Amino acid sequence: MIKGGYMKKILKVNLSSEEILTEMIEEEILRKFVGCWGLALKILYDSLPPGIGPLEPENPLVLMTGPLTGISLVPAGNQTSLATLNADTGFTAGRSHTHGFFGPNLKGAGFDGVIVEGAADKPVYLWISEGSAEIRDATELWGKDTHETERIVKKMVGEPKASVAAIGPAGENLCAGAWIANDENHSFGHSGVGAVMGSKKLKAIAVYGSEEVPIADEERLKEITKKWIHSLMFEYPPTKRRQKGGIARTEYEFLKKRSLVSAKNFTEVSPEEFGKGMSKHKITPKPCFGCPIGCSYDVEIVEGPYKGYKASLSGGGEGMEGAASLCGVYNADAVFYLTDLCDRLGFESSTIGSTIALCIECYEKGLLSKEDTDGMELKWGDPNLVESLLRKAAYREGKLGRLLALGPKRAAEMISEEALKFAVHIKGAGMNMHDWRACWGILFGQIVGGGSGWPAPGADYIPEPDLGIPQLQNPLEWRDKPETARKTGMKKYWDDSTGVCWFATWGVPNALVYTSEAVSAVVGWDFTPEDALLVGERLMNLERAFNIRRGLTPADDIEVSPRLLEPPSAGLAKGRSLAPHLRGMVMEYYRAMGWDEKTGKPLRSTLRRVGLEEIIQDIW
Ligand code: SF4
């Protein structure tokens, strides 16, 4: 029986009929899919009718918390995940996670999640507070950027502690790579979730609540989290470089040294200038609910043309690479400014950055002319140009704005066949933006993933002691990668379902024990690390079945963006490429996963083993 962790209610809002209902989820479903990504995916799988496109009203936005979300004893227990049909690929399950305070507020308001269906006929926002919800007019918010929207909505609802998740102009104008920003420094990124929200004319979701999340056994939870926080803060080196706005404080050195900084559409690697001088700007950490790490931060630019500008950034680096280095911009002040601008316009920067970089390269190579670019000269390294292009894209302004709003693959298809060679994408969507050609484990995990950012992280960037990989794997050795993608994918999908930010579990020694024991202590279940990995494996299979039903074939895993298989021109992976090994690796991965080599479908026996026998008939 469930004794804690869940608020036992989800909210269902239909924007077409303006109907608002609450529903309960059966314990059997919760035990199998847990929460966050797992539960959201299950609901999406069951509710999305066949033949529906991502921007049609029938495509739901499913936002779910996990059992550990909103519990301050749990390190970084603040995650909310979103599932929807991926608007950037058009055919895969879209997955997105955010942090900050949104999930804790949602649970505080008495709900484990929100499902938004239908579409309004004029702009609206949703206000969820203390057990109730209402749809409100958002006409005056339409056109505003994400930060402005947050500020205004807080005033409109009269609650300064509310969390607001909002789209910007990019989402309103249904651009590829549009995201949903929340709590200033955070976002539901990837999968074009902002465009799905824009297609519903839903400008924002505001939440506030003060109800405590019940805990089945608080004393047991305290014992577990004491050990967990110790491992995270004292036995795990990546925490040090992430802590207190670490990526800017350490001037990006770690990623640079590993040859992982993407530059000029992957034609350069880890430019020396990038990251330099970041630490001299005024960095103020902005930790999320219950987080001892505090990777996200505000930065005030103290010199140069953007002096005095305050940017609100998250702790990962991909936002900065997509917005700046990918387009050849390396100056720290411009990097901060452009990353923040992407956020305000409502863009996840890897997709829009890849599209801008593609167009610059195509212009240089003569595949685009001034006639195609509304008379603009496209070149690398010009922050003013990148700013103009971001704005043009967000408002679909002119011929070039409309092209940029398509995302890297569709834009390349419009330009020419030749241009497809330079488009950086995974199944049409922007990738997790680092130059992962120097880490084949992560690159392979993304290639066989569904085009939603991070799927299997491999073990060549951060080892996974809980999975029997205590040391880093050789990043340029292909043989161990298929099995590692399977193992790390299982753990990642479990982690993404508990309600904890991944920076508190990824590679942390014993995290698998801590998370499964914490879920047991909070809910009152008996959950082992083996159960946890089985949940992860179940989700990998459910996601695969979803994608197969919407047309995914092995060709989507093998015929990938040529630029990702080009040997880097410099750095640790100079001259090396995954290309000769890829087909064999994909087949080995399918065998390890228990998937059919001809079709890529999970075998019937696999679906039975992971407890998904009910979906066999959907794909066989
Ligand atoms: S690690 Fe960073 S993103 Fe994750 S919860 Fe902490 S501050 Fe937020």
Cα of 293 vs centre of ligand 1, distance in Å, is: 6
User: For ligand 1, what atom is nearest to the CA of residue 503?
Assistant: 1
In whole angstroms, give the CA distance from residue 188 to residue 194. Answer: 8
Instruction: Choose among 380, 319, 288: nearest CA to 99.
Output: 288
Measured CA distances, 503 to 365, 397, 431, 499 (Å): 40, 38, 19, 12
Q: Among 241, 242, 295, which is best to mutate for testing ligand 1, by the most ligand atoms less than 8 A from CB?
A: 295
Ligand 1 geometric centre to CA of 262 (Å):
23
Which of 186, 288, 318 has most ligand 1 atoms within 8 Å of CB, for mutation?
A: 288
Is the per-residue pLDDT at 454 higher than 90? no
How far, in Å, from the CA of 192 to the mean position of ligand 1? 22
Closest CA to 57 of 204, 192, 172, 196: 196
Supply the pLDDT for residue 396: 98
Question: What pLDDT is stored for residue 317 in this prediction?
Answer: 85
Closest ligand 1 atom to residue 291 Cα is 6
Give 317-350 pLDDT, tens digit per residue: 889 999 999 999 999 999 999 999 999 999 999 9
Tokens for 131?
């057990």
The tokens describing 506, both together, are 């990824």
Type and span of the H or E element at 589: helix 582-593
Q: How far, in Å, from the CA of 287 to the mean position of ligand 1?
A: 6
> pLDDT per residue over 131-171, tens digit each?
999 999 999 999 999 999 999 999 999 999 999 999 999 99
How many angstroms separate the CA atoms of 229 and 226, rounded?
Answer: 5
Task: Report the percentage of the chain scoring pLDDT > 90.
Answer: 97
Query: Residue 123 Cα, ligand 1 centroid: separation in angstroms?
Result: 31
Residue written as token pair 């060549």: 460
Q: From 94, 125, 225, select the one nearest 513 (Cα to Cα).
A: 225
CATH-assigned architecture of domain 248-422: Orthogonal Bundle (1.10)
Least confident of 214-223, 258-267, 446-455, 471-480: 446-455
Can you give the pLDDT at residue 519?
98
What pLDDT shows up at residue 140? Answer: 97
CATH of 10-208, one of 3.40.50.2300, 3.60.9.10, 3.40.50.410, 3.30.300.20: 3.60.9.10
Q: Which of 501, 502, 505 to mutate to test the pocket of ligand 1 (most atoms within 8 A of CB)?
A: 501
Protein residue closest via CA to atom 7 of ligand 1: 294
Q: Please tell me the distance from the alpha carbon of residue 620 to that of residue 618, in angstroms, as a whole number.
A: 6
Instruction: Give the pLDDT confidence of 221-239 residue by residue, as tens digits.
Output: 999 999 999 999 999 989 9
For ligand 1, residues with CB inside 6 Å are 76, 78, 99, 287-288, 291, 293-296, 315, 501, 503
- Which amino acid residue places its CA nearest to atom 4 of ligand 1? 501
- pLDDT above 70 as % of the chain: 100
In ligand 1, which atom is closest to the CA atom of 100? 8
- State pLDDT tens for residues 574-600: 999 999 999 999 999 999 999 999 999
- DSSP characters for 121-177? SS-EEEEEETTEEEEEE-GGGTT--HHHHHHHHHHHHT-TT-EEEE--HHHHTT-TT
Query: What atom of ligand 1 comes closest to residue 504's alpha carbon?
Result: 1
Residue 315 scores a pLDDT above 90: no
Nearest alpha-carbon partner for 341 in 358, 353, 357: 353
Given the CA of residue 315, which atom of ligand 1 is nearest to it? 2
Domain 436-619: which CATH class? mainly alpha
Backbone angles phi, psi at 61, to 5 degrees: -105, 120
Provide the 8-state DSSP code for 304.
S
Evaluate if residue 79 carries a pLDDT over 90. Answer: yes
Q: What spacing in Å lies between the alpha carbon of 501 and ligand 1's midpoint?
A: 6
Candidates 79, 99, 185: which one to mutate for ligand 1, based on the most atoms within 8 Å of Cβ? 99
Query: Terminal CA-to-CA distance of the chain, rounded, Å?
Result: 35
Strand ranges for 375-469 from DSSP E: none
Residue among 293, 462, 498, 508 to mutate when testing ligand 1 (max atoms within 8 A of CB): 293
Widest Cα–Cα separation across the chain? 68
How far is the C-alpha of 151 from the C-alpha of 342, rounded, in Å? 18
Q: Distance, CA 11 to ligand 1 centroid (Å)?
A: 26
Query: What average pLDDT does the structure give for the chain?
Result: 97
Q: CA-to-CA distance for 247 and 181, rounded, in angstroms?
A: 20
Q: Which atom of ligand 1 is nearest the CA belonging to 502?
A: 4
Q: How many angstroms is it from 342 CA to the middle of ligand 1?
A: 20
- The residue type of 69 is T
DSSP state, residue 477: -
Residue with tokens 């390294």: 381
Please give the structure tokens belonging to residue 163: 């969390």
Q: What is the mean pLDDT of residues 451-471?
A: 93
Chain-centroid distance of CA 333 in Å reads 25
**Equal CATH topology for 10-208 and 248-422:** no
pLDDT > 90? residue 204: yes
φ/ψ (deg, to 5) at 285 = -60, 145
Q: Residue of the nearest CA to atom 2 in ligand 1?
A: 295
**Domain boundaries of the chain, sorted by first residue:** 10-208, 248-422, 436-619
388-411 pLDDT, tens digit each: 999 999 999 999 999 999 999 999
Ligand 1 centroid vs 56 CA: distance in angstroms? 33
What pLDDT, on a 0 to 100 scale, did the predictor assign at position 341?
98
| Distance (Å) from CA 288 to ligand 1 centroid | 6
| Lookup: tokens for 614 | 């009910």
pLDDT one-digit tens code per residue, 507-563: 999 999 999 999 999 999 999 999 999 999 999 999 999 999 999 999 999 999 999
Distance 606 CA to ligand 1 centre (A): 35
